[in-house]
Amino acid sequence: MQDFLQQTLSGQPPAQRQGSNAHLSWQWHDEGILSLTPVQPAQQALVLSAGIHGNETAPVEMLNLLLSPLLRGEKPLAVRLLVILGNPAALRSGKRYQQYDINRLFGGRWQQVADVPEAQRALRLEQALENFWRACREREIRWHLDLHTAIRGSYHTRFGVLPLNTRPWPAAFLHWLAAAKLEALVFHRAPGGTFTHYSCEHHDAASCTLELGKALPFGRNDLSQFHGAQQALAALLYGETLSAVQARPRHYHVTQQITRHGEEFVLHMGPETLNFTAFPQGTLLAEEGETRYYVQQAREYVLFPNPQVAPGLRAGLMLVEETAQQGSRVASPAE
């Protein structure tokens, strides 16, 4: 198999479902699910996922560019690797999703919706991760990087969203995110149905959703915008030297979630509102019936405002920037 993306978009399994070269062996497990095992034992197990939303194509193209030299035997593989294109049907249609947002269905939440292909896909992806992590060697480092682009523009073009984690974040993981030239990191303080929350909660993986620019169709992406992230991923995959950190990301944590419950919901933000737009205390953000959402802190920043989400889903997050004194829980380098 020479081109994982084209093979997945074809809707057909490859004629050969497994193979090897001088550096690795590979196996096609299912549509958009491929594992690669290095010839030399690795100390790290890495899940790279993209295309959870079918209209977010830049990370899919970037991931395929990184994967192709490995499959051709041109680059060594430094990690045990699972590559996932999350929603192939949505990728083929160019839509965010068909019926349900897969990234709200993990952690068994797929059981709470109709038995449609996207619920089945969420279960299949959970099974793929479980099988991959189960094969981990003792003390193998577990990372999961889920690559996305945002619907809206942003004051921080490249940023990461980290799920609720009861353990300190590994220092090496946060260092890698900084080396990938992420401008901001957002730390959740509540559980969710995202792919990265599932891998963190259920499989003890250090996981992060990487938001790399704005969602555009295939062929219209300027991948030079993500050069820092691509270089950092290449270093991780091929065992090359990681670039020096030039600037530390700003840290934010989620202070409240805006949820749309029905047709009366009104979000008081226009379509031009950028991610990380700041609002002063007391600003009315959204309302629905008797429910009002106000800015509660001296200043809060909005993330992912979207009044068009399905009832019951998040229509926006409000953030507070952390001070140097607050910080985020970080493990020592030895951990």
Which residues are the active-site residues?
211
The closest of 98, 120, 101 to 111, measured between CA atoms, is 120
Q: What is the largest CA-CA distance in the chain?
A: 64
CA gap 217, 138 in Å, rounded: 41
The closest of 331, 181, 169, 183 to 252, measured between CA atoms, is 183
The closest of 272, 249, 257, 247 to 186, measured between CA atoms, is 249
CA gap 250, 275 in Å, rounded: 14
C-beta of residue 87 within 8 angstroms of C-beta of residue 53? yes
Instruction: Consult the annotation and say whether 56 binds a ligand.
Output: yes
Instruction: Consult the annotation and say whether 53 binds a ligand.
Output: yes
Question: Residue 131 corresponds to which tokens in the numbers above?
Answer: 């099988």
Q: Is 213 helix (H, G, I), strand (E, B) or coil?
A: strand
Question: Residue 144 corresponds to which tokens in the numbers above?
Answer: 């999961």
CA gap 31, 85 in Å, rounded: 8
Question: Residue 43 corresponds to which tokens in the numbers above?
Answer: 């100390």
State the binding site: 53, 56, 148
State the binding site for Zn(2+): 53, 56, 148
